[in-house]
Amino acid sequence: MQNIILFPFSEYWLFYLGFVLFVIFLLALDLGVFHKSAHEVSFKESLSWSIVWISLALIFNYLLYVYSGWKFSTDEKYLSIPNFNPEVASKQVALEFLTGFIIEKTLAIDNIFVFVVVFNFFAIPLKYQHRVLFLGIFGALIFRTIFIALGAALIQYQFIVIFFGVFLILTGFKILFAPEKPIEPEKNPIVKLFKKFFPVTSTIENQKLFIKKDNVIYATPLMIALLFIEISDIIFAVDSVPAIFAITKEPFIVFTSNVFAILGLRALYFMLAGVVNKFKYLKYGLGIVLIFVGLKMAWLNELFGGKFPISISLIIISGIITISILYSIFKTRGEKQ
């Protein structure tokens, strides 16, 4: 069963389309109604939105579980699969989505550290940060879709699976042992290249990314901040997308869990931006998680007959993340923000 795609794109393209339209509706509602005018996002507002996004993900997970249970038990295509158990398969689907969502949500905290540095570096006022993050996340959704499509095509080859597994293991060890390097947006080669084509203003021009002065188009600091955020997300996607493919081979689960995690990233940023120093040891937990999912992809799945138990994966990953968060809070208690 482990080599069978339960939700092939050719049969479920309407599901993909419906999900994408639903996401576009949520983004339009967010930007066009709730954040139509620029304002500083308070902790209370960001907490409320975080609860909304997480709740939507959990509701979707439950609906996916219910649908899978019905579809797997009524469709002859699934029932004809040797040793296929509809109830077990539907639980597997739900647990894979939940585990993928938790991994993505946790890895997203690394993005928040970058957001804080970038916004401080370019002196982006709080009331304009939501617009930059909205556009950044919209771009991230496009790039993640491309990465997932490529991953789904490549993951069919065992040597690629092993390569991704080894890559995640090495990335995990790098996080654990490599010294941290300061983030310097002005030294990024793509940012440097961009500045060769567009001069950059020294001041913020409301929410504008570009302005025109004396028939010359200028980029604003908001545009440079957005560009750096997009570059950072592409780099993060190189780790996070293979990490979820280590949990499930279903592109539909990888795609939906990824999207739900990204949708809640803005709210998570505004909720945690002021206390990111409290999570300074979380990176070690992330490193261990990447090593585990890399081992799962390159070795443990085959060791367990093609599929390492998803319930055990969920317990291990949740445990590592919880311990690293609690340890971070304990070690940084009393420190200034």
pLDDT tens per residue, range 108-137: 777 787 888 888 888 888 888 888 888 888
Give CA separation, 287 vs 30, 107, 277, 292, in Å. Answer: 33, 10, 18, 9
Position 195 scores a pLDDT of 85
Position 260 scores a pLDDT of 94
Give CA separation, 172 vs 108, 145, 147, 276, 294, in Å. Answer: 15, 24, 20, 20, 9
Q: Is 232 within a domain? A: yes
Q: Is 2 within a domain? A: no
Position 180 scores a pLDDT of 75
Q: Is 241 within a domain? A: yes
Tens-digit pLDDT profile for residues 227-275:
988 888 888 888 888 988 989 989 999 999 999 999 888 888 888 876 7
Tens-digit pLDDT profile for residues 174-189:
989 988 777 777 777 8
Q: In the predicted model, is pLDDT for residue 2 greater than 80?
A: no
Compute the average pLDDT of residues 145-156.
89
The domain of 177 spans 9-331
Position 72 scores a pLDDT of 94
> Residue 299 gets which letter from DSSP?
I
Q: Is 336 within a domain? A: no
Q: Is 337 within a domain? A: no
Domains held by the chain: number: 1
Q: In the predicted model, is pLDDT for residue 302 greater than 60?
A: yes
Cα angle for residues 242, 247, 250 (degrees, 5° grid): 85
Residue tagged 């308070």 (tokens) = 42
Position 92 scores a pLDDT of 94
Compute the average pLDDT of residues 31-44.
71
Position 289 scores a pLDDT of 92
Q: Is 1 within a domain? A: no
Q: In the predicted model, is pLDDT for residue 31 greater than 90?
A: no
Q: 288 or 178: whose pLDDT is higher?
A: 288
> Residue 81 gets which letter from DSSP?
S
Q: Is 37 within a domain? A: yes
Position 1 scores a pLDDT of 47
Q: Is 4 within a domain? A: no
Lowest mean pLDDT among 32-41, 195-204, 305-314, 318-327: 32-41
Share of the chain above pLDDT 70, in %: 95
